[in-house]
Amino acid sequence: MTTVIKKPTTQTDQSQDSAVTMSRILGVLGEIGKYVILIPLAITFMFPIYWMFVSALKDDPQVFTVPPVLLPNPVFFENFVEAWTILPFNTFAFNTVFRYVLPTTIITVLSCTIIAYGFSKIDWPYRDQIFYIVLLTMMLPWAVKMVPLFLMFRDWNWLDTYFPWTVTAAFGTPYFIFLLRQFFRTIPNEILDAARVDGANELVILWRIIFPLARPALVVVGLFRFMWAWNDYLGPRIFIRTQENFPLALGIDLLQNRANDVGTCARCLPYLMGVSFLVALPIIIMFFFAQRTFIEGISLTGTKG
């Protein structure tokens, strides 16, 4: 028969067990506290979207009821269809997607990638000095450039077209050039040197090596540019003149003007909420599905000075 000798518990062991137990309790309390803070913040951020959606399902009496009606009764789902057809929002959506957002996003990603590659992986005279000049242009606010750009585009007969965005996108955006340059500097030069030894030129390296490795950063640039173009109001307000060339932002503004004119529209406020929700929905869905790549790209850019 084997006798098991139990080691006596010392005061040091008891203090270690107490420390482990306390750390576990603090960890659980920390997790609980994190969700106690995050859940109200999430509700706060989501409530405007919910309010916009339920307001689109109401009629005017329910919209102006005090206290506010959180669950409309009856529900008017037809408000979404009627709101979209009360003005030519199909035309506005076409202008936004195919004449503004997609061209400028694609051109910006390509141009900024090429420019950032030249600033990060190719040695040429005064490269860093010119890059600093590019960064200095970020200090010019839109309010300073607004009038000179308007006069220049007027002289070029670019007003009431989307050339002010699609053509200028080919010259890059300083902010995106900076982000991509910082990311490209994290790519080892040995990989590019090996490709050059094998006979690859710079365009092949850019297409076969840089683009696959820089996918998170390129997604970030594309998402940022997409959102800026999708939500742009001031630029089209200045450069676009005729209604058939309006993007969605100016279409919503046109509907809001009708809502402000009493008697011109029976349900213009619910219609305005409905169209605003439909216009915001693509951005919400896009960020929801691309948030992991988006956050990864943000965290990787700027990791090397």
Alpha helices in 162-267 (DSSP H): 163-166, 174-184, 189-197, 202-205, 211-213, 215-231, 234-239, 248-260
pLDDT in tens, 20-65: 777 788 888 888 888 889 898 888 888 888 989 998 888 878 887 8
pLDDT in tens, 122-180: 888 999 999 999 999 988 888 899 999 999 999 999 999 999 999 999 999 999 999 99
61 lies in some domain: no
Based on the fold, state whether residues 225 and 293 are members of the same structural domain: yes
113 lies in some domain: yes
- CATH number for the domain including 292? 1.10.3720.10
Based on the fold, state whether residues 32 and 102 are members of the same structural domain: no
Structural domain tally of the chain?
2
2 lies in some domain: no
N-to-C CA span, the chain: 69
**Which residues lie closer than 8 Å to 158 by C-beta, 6 or more apart?**
164, 167, 239
Based on the fold, state whether residues 112 and 20 are members of the same structural domain: no
pLDDT in tens, 185-215: 888 889 898 988 988 888 899 888 898 888 8
Based on the fold, state whether residues 225 and 185 are members of the same structural domain: yes
On the question of a cis peptide bond just before residue 74, with omega within 30 degrees of 0, the verdict is yes
Q: Bigger pLDDT: 72 or 156?
A: 156
305 lies in some domain: no
Q: Is 111 within 8 Å of 169 (Cβ atoms)?
A: yes
* Domain that includes residue 42, residue range: 13-56
